[in-house]
C-alpha cells in the first residue's frame, strides 16, 4: 500500500544539548508512522536524524534514506531504512529527497539543516515547487533566526510574502497537520488542473 504522504525532514546530525530536541525528533518519527506516512531524510544514524528514523521504524512507519556515498561511514548510514539510496554526491541527495517529498520540515540542526531548509524555501519562492515548507521552533531554538528574518523584511531585503511561504510553529502536531493538509490540497489541485 502506498503511503498517505511523504514528509521530508531535515534535522541535526547531532542530538543538541536539550532533551527537548530528541523528544521532538522521536515524536515526528512516530507521528509519521501513526498517520501512515513516509519519512524521507538524509539516511544517517547520528543525532536527531537517527533518533527520528528509529522512532518511525519502531512504530511501523516507512523510512526512505538518501545518503551520499562519501558520508556512508561518517554519518553511519542507517541500514534499517525501508529504502536506502546511496547516491553520488550532495546535489543528488538533495534532489532525490525533494522529488520524493510532498512537504518539507526542518527541526533544530546545524549548517547542513540550515542549508537544506533555505534551499527548499528559495526553490519555493522561485516557483520550482509548490510544496509546503515548515520550521519547527522547539525550545525557542529558531527564535533568533526568525527575529533576524523579520529584520531583513524591515530593512527591505525580503518581502512579507516570502516570509509567509514558511510556516514556523512551536506546536509540533499543529505544524505537521497543517503541512500534510496543504500538501494534500496542492496535489488535489494538480489533479484537477489536468482536466
Residues that bind ligand AMP (CB under 6 A): 12-14, 42, 44, 71, 75, 90, 94, 109-113, 115-116
Least Å distance between CB 106 and ligand AMP?
9
Report the residue closest to ligand AMP, judged by CB: 112
Q: DSSP letter at 141?
A: T
Least Å distance between CB 156 and ligand AMP?
28
77 grid coordinates: 548510514
Supply φ then ψ for residue 5, to 5 degrees: -165, 165
Match 534499517 to its residue by C-alpha cell. 80
Beta carbon nearer to ligand AMP, 58 or 115: 115
Beta carbon nearer to ligand AMP, 102 or 116: 116
Cα(178)–Cα(4) distance, rounded to whole angstroms? 15
Cα(103)–Cα(96) distance, rounded to whole angstroms? 13
23: left (phi over 0), alpha (psi -120 to 50) or beta: alpha
Beta carbon nearer to ligand AMP, 23 or 187: 23
Least Å distance between CB 93 and ligand AMP?
7
Least Å distance between CB 31 and ligand AMP?
20
Cα(173)–Cα(163) distance, rounded to whole angstroms? 21
Spatial contact of 139 and 20, defined as CB atoms under 8 Å apart: yes
Least Å distance between CB 20 and ligand AMP?
17
Cα 193 to Cα 98, 182, 186, 190, distances in angstroms:
22, 16, 10, 5
Beta carbon nearer to ligand AMP, 110 or 140: 110
Beta carbon nearer to ligand AMP, 13 or 182: 13
Amino acid at each position: 500500500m502506498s503511503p498517505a504522504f511523504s514528509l521530508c525532514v531535515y534535522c541535526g546530525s547531532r542530538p543538541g544539548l536539550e532533551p527537548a530536541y530528541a523528544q521532538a525528533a522521536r515524536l515526528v518519527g512516530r507521528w509519521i508512522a501513526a498517520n501512515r506516512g513516509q519519512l524521507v531524510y538524509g539516511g544517517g544514524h547520528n543525532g536527531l536524524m537517527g533518533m527520528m528514523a528509529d522512532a518511525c521504524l519502531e512504530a511501523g512507519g516507512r523510512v526512505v534514506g538518501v545518503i551520499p556515498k562519501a558520508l556512508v561511514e561518517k554519518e553511519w548510514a542507517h541500514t534499517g531504512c525501508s529504502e536506502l539510496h546511496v547516491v553520488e554526491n550532495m546535489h543528488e541527495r538533495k534532489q532525490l529527497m525533494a522529488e520524493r517529498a510532498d512537504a518539507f520540515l526542518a527541526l533544530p540542526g546545524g549548517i547542513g539543516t540550515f542549508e537544506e531548509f533555505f534551499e527548499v524555501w528559495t526553490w519555493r519562492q522561485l516557483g520550482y515547487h509548490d510544496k509546503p515548507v515548515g520550521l519547527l521552533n522547539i525550545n525557542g531554538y529558531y527564535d533568533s533566526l526568525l527575529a533576524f528574518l523579520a529584520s531583513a523584511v524591515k530593512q527591505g531585503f525580503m518581502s512579507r510574502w516570502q516570509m509567509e511561504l514558511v510556516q514556523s510553529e512551536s506546536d509540533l502536531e499543529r505544524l505537521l497537520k497543517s503541512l500534510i493538509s496543504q500538501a494534500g490540497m496542492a496535489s488535489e489541485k494538480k489533479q484537477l488542473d489536468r482536466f
